[in-house]
Amino acid sequence: MAPTFSERIARLEPSVVREILAAAQAPGVISFAGGLPAPESLPSLTGLDVPSAYAQYGATEGEPRLREAISRYLSTIGLECPPARVLVLSGSQQGIDLVAKLFVDVGAPIITESPTYLAALQVFRLFGAAVHGLPLGDEGVDPDALGRVARARRPRFCYLVPTYQNPTGVSYGVSSRQAVARALDEAALPLFEDDPYREVSFDGDGPRPIASHLERASWVYQSSFSKVFLPGIRLGFLAASPDLFVPLVRLKQAADLHSNRVSQWLALSELESPERAARLDALRSVYRHKRDTFQASLTKHLGALAEWHTPNGGLFFWIRLKTPRDVVSLLPKAIERGVVFVPGDVCFPEAPAPAGYLRLNFSHATPEAADEGLGRLAALLRG
């Protein structure tokens, strides 16, 4: 007899991106699919000198010195939060899981941007959330619409990626952030702010987090060590208002006791390194250059077929085909021709999703490979 799974497993959607990434491993395939940092920019892992004390079990909240360093970092971006309310995560993806566990019952309404981060949608749906997507404009979501949905639906929380958003690259300006914070305060709607791309900025620093503008609403702010340090160490962190912090620590304890201490040592060494600022500057230059060469190839190959905004941070171009068509069914043919992308459909909470969007990662492929891959994609779209 087949084993009986929990009823939530019926809602467990396969992650399209994981499956595409698996297909993209074949030699010769040029991948624009994942949000992978440039391999040549990853710091070396040789000669690690991890103190032997880190071999033992540790605290659920994370290493005290790392929590202090994160609290200091948060202060530099305008979010005041003491180390006692910093929780180290096993990747910021874990924060999404913990927040979903904290808030979501089957049928519980929540708000996200539309489009939004596809792996967050996957988690929210697994727990049975009724996801309401607010259209994402060039300046973010409309605060009035946010207020209206909050009053009408009483959502449990609002999930936003306001800095160089995945997938669109949109970054909310200061006044939009303030207006969104006011709407959240008025509705007493908890904010879940996901900010992994903040340091991947090409035109100066992003504005203060929305959480820093809140006066009353509860909040969780999270970020990651994946995008500007090492994704393989699987480390992120969250900071939260006091009412949310305590249950989140308990949920983390139930999930994995604590995050990998060797990874925490590496992250601490990175945050405390005197070379960090110079390293980040160099990384931003590499990515700015990759964005520019990618855009030149996009214009050459897809200029007549598609339109896009130039992202001033993050890792993606969000492409809209001038003549919308089903890009999901195009994907297997693209893989056959040795190029992979994320069909925009999977990033929309609503069904049916708007057709004709593609998310293209520009950080991973070399400029030469990107040019070749975009040429293949254009040929496919024309064919």
Which residues in this chain contact ligand PLP in the complex, by CB under 6 A?
A: 35, 91-93, 117, 161, 166, 194, 196, 224, 226, 231, 236
Contact indicator for 128, 11 with CB cutoff of 8 Å? yes
In 3D, which of 285, 303, 290 has the Cα closest to residue 369? 290
What does the CA dihedral 52, 270, 31, 366 come to, rounded to 10 degrees? -120
Minimal distance in Å, beta carbon 20 to ligand PLP?
14
Residue 324 token pair: 């919308």
Q: In the complex, what is the shortest distance from the CB of residue 286 to ligand PLP, in angstroms, rounded to a whole number?
A: 18
> SS3 for 20-45, per residue?
HHHHCCCCCCEECCCCCCCHHHCCCC
Per 3-state DSSP, the chain is made up of helix, strand and coil in percentages (nearest 5) of 45, 15, 40
Residue with tokens 């924060």: 95
What lies within 8 Å, CB to CB, of 52 at 6+ separation is none
Nearer residue to ligand PLP within complex by CB, 230 or 244: 230
What b/e readout covers 141-162, taking b as 16+ CB neighbours within 10 angstroms? Answer: bbbeebbebbeeeebbbbbbbb
Nearer to ligand PLP, 224 or 263 (CB): 224
Closest distance of CB 186 from ligand PLP, Å: 26
Shortest distance, position 284 Cβ to ligand PLP, whole Å = 18
Q: Which is nearer to ligand PLP, 129 or 302 (CB)?
A: 129
d(CA 381, CA 383): 6
Choose between 71 and 224: whose C-beta lies nearer to ligand PLP.
224
Phi, psi of 129 (to 5 degrees): -65, 145
Q: Residue 87 CB, nearest distance to ligand PLP (Å)?
A: 13
- Give the DSSP H or E segment for 111: strand 109-114
CB of 140 vs ligand PLP, minimal distance in Å:
15
Short-list 165, 172, 164, 118, CA closest to 143: 172
Per the listing, tokens 């993209």 go with: 24
Write out the two tokens for 342.
Answer: 């994320």
Q: Decide: 153 and 109 in contact? Cβ < 8 Å.
A: yes
CA pair distance 239, 254, nearest whole angstrom: 19
Q: Which is nearer to ligand PLP, 35 or 169 (CB)?
A: 35
**Smallest distance, ligand PLP to C-beta of residue 194, A:** 5
Two structure tokens written together for 362: 């520009």
CB of 280 to ligand PLP, least distance (A): 17
Shortest spacing between CB 21 and ligand PLP, in angstroms: 12
Contact between 149 and 134 under an 8 Å Cβ cutoff? The reply is: yes
Residue nearest to ligand PLP (CB): 91
CB 371, min distance to ligand PLP, A: 24
